[in-house]
Chains A and B, each alone.
Chain A
Amino acid sequence: MTKAITVSGLRKSFGRTHALDGLDLDVETGEVHGFLGPNGAGKSTTLRVLLGLLRADSGAAQVLGRDPWKDAVEVHRRIAYVPGDVTLWRNLSGGEVIDLYGRLRGGLSQARRAELIDRFELDPTKKGRTYSKGNRQKVALVAAFASDVDLLILDEPTSGLDPLMEEVFQRCVEEERERGRTVLLSSHILSEVEELCDRVSIIRGGRTVESGSLADLRHLTRTSVTAELVGAPNGLAQLPGVHDLDVRGHRVRLQVDTERLDAVLRSLADSGVRSLTSTPPTLEELFLRHYQETS
């Protein structure tokens, strides 16, 4: 598989703040890649470097096989970008902005534009100053999804959208994936990322701390297990990788490193299992673990 985006050792400082401190990122062509991190981690800075709006101090970045700073215009023909906070011109209507953005990119499918306006329930005749936050966001989303491009760069694109529109957004991203387009999705909403993304990269302090498919990442974390046993539990506390063991009579709750799950299940089965639930770690737990560890 070819790479849509490759970034290695990216550094960028603003005065004394190191916004990016050796960031790595790989996005495969055709995948939806989640880009996670708390406020100030450097997500938007990375995206702006990838768009050639900022020039990296050092490190290498390639977008669609080109240098995003030097070949900005060429690269941008194949990219659609949605910022997290869309500002519009007060006296231009939403429809005018959608068409302008479409034409300034590779072009725009009118049929797709009409369909998206319908699905997002956007009124394209309103002037920029009269749109609410969510509706401004929709203007940029319609322009991006209707554009004829290979790569979508979305920077917290759903801020201000209601849950119904969030749903529409998710379906649109899935359609993009089916068409073979690549999506880089920076987000705060972990359920959104969990739902949509093939792979994720988690960054903190301008550095990538974790990258891989959700299954890979889960492998490194703990599964929580709750079981009702026939007999008394035996020897669970001695098993490696077991945490937060809580035994009340025949009820057992515990957390286990996912790679040690096998031994725990065997031990539980020895005591006879009446019921068992096992929950894989949510992305949220994964996320929190990374941030609580060193912050």
Chain B
Amino acid sequence: MTFLQPWLLAALPLLTLPIIIHLINQRRFQTIQWAAMMFLLAAQRMARGYSRLRQWLILMFRTLAVAGLIVAVSRPLASGWLGLVSGGQADTTIILLDRSPSMQGRAPGSGESKLETGRQQLVQILQTLSSNRYVLIDSASRQAREFESPKALASSATAGPASAPADLPLMLQAAYDYIKSQRTGRTEIWICSDLRANDWLPDNSRWSALRDAFLELPQGVRLQLLAYPAPSAGNISVRVTSARRQMSKAGPELMISVRLARGEDGEKRQIPLQFEIDGSRSVINVELSGRQTELRDHRIPIEATQARGFGRVSIPADANPADNEFFFVFDEQVPRKTLIVADDPQAGLPLQLAAGISADDAVTCSADLVAAEQLAATEWDKISLVLWQTPLPRGSIAQQLQTFVDQGGQIVLFPPREPSGGEFCGQSWDGWTDGAAAVESWRGDADLLARTQSGAALPVGQLQIHRHCRLKGESTSLATLSSGAPLLGRAQTDRGGVYFCSTTPAAQDSTLASNGIVLYALIQRAAAAGSAVLGKTRWLEAGNAAGEALGQWKRLSGTEDGLSTEAHCHAGVYTEEDRLRVVNRPAAEDEEKQLSDATVNELFRGLDFTRVDDRAGNASALIQEIWRMFLAVMLVSLVLEAALCFPKAVAARETAL
């Protein structure tokens, strides 16, 4: 129970008032010399049962009346928090609002989403609790915005649904930064979320730093979690895994792959998939069995003149409308051109073969071996990938490569025969280490070594590394050798990709060339990623629009909700000059993995943290003032006390004299 005027609880010692009055009354008794004491003593002996109970009841009701009055004037709040916590008005209330697609889930029989319900509950709670200042940090912008009153939260465009995932550590960081910069007083942070693991990132190293930072804040910060952990029952998500234009004998057609997924196993269902391309629609029934089903390379004929276009795949409405549609764009394939700079022909040749052979007839691949000095004349806007197996670039060459990366290009660097110092993207080679090593672990969930579309893992574990070159600098390891050294690491970049492979495909260094699957997949994926930024279409994950000129975006398709400045956070198709941009929710949003209670408690360990679970569509207020109830308790106690104290009418006694 929380109190709006908790300092009035300081009057609780007044509960002893009835006892004190009783003691004072004893002093004020009229004293009389009495002869017939034997009757009084007999009467007292009779007063063992009810009479004694009555005395205690009177004391209890008097105490209850005083307690009821004190609690009533302290303005108690009824809420899901049954424990007694010290309350009071906060100086600043910060709301962290999870607007991710999963928050649009609805409970069965309810028209309101988790986000709408949470927003309304927050409005009601904040109106009751009141605060000097209200700040909203939403998951899409992650920027602190002040608003005047709780009601503004209900109508705020920045509190509506979005397709971007939430990043709770970053949002908490934003809250912490706000508290530090504004030097707020006692602060309450309200987190409204559905506890999706992809939004909370419980393994993120920021959590421990945030915990320590909040604990060090002198003004005291209380964290309140308004959680909607109930999964959206029966929800099915649709996702386009690839969409490409290709020529067939009948003419141009769109090859589109679609994946349907759901949170739990269920019976087989026929799901009508609706494709909409430039206004023309087609429907196909897909049988969903198990957790997910993928429709591969579904062919849809398109106009012969249509080289570029966009469309939408949708399924009928279910528990979460946010994952019922997926936008896509298609374009003519961009040739994948790879530049190879290698000082060791034994390494350069396998790289050239892997980069020059296309896996898809529709895609043209080419790989050119060039010397580092020739790079100055390179047309970088046609290059997808650079494979670098010479000493790390310096000077103007390094500058050109950095620009290439900043524009979305991909570079994979292999160690030279003679590492000669130098640094690129914070990394440098530190000499060769002889000795066979096996690959101990690698990331199969994302990036260059991810599993194939069929779910099969790349045979990275079969590689034999005869020797490797040590790498200095901070990087994200995608594959690790048994010695603990990285085999493949990714440097931190804003855009594009810079990978460091600690061995070469040369036969004396590794079996990358002889066991070419890993090398081929790695290079083709890097080339594909590089070519994706060269074309006039681009697939973007909502919330991540690095390098995009958002101000020039114009919506072609998608939801009309949201601000234009937040276009990258809303699923849809946008145009920027002659280029198409498609924004969709990230793949992680389709995973219904949630945080366990223990994990949540661990994340907030040591902090002043309270959690209450709510459900979508809950119309009853989570928190409400209940002083009337205590006033009623007081009145009832007074009435009962009066009834017990009321002197019984003593009948005129016949004295029998």
**Pairing of A with B:** no
Residues of B within 8 A of A (CB): none
Residues of A within 8 A of B (CB): none
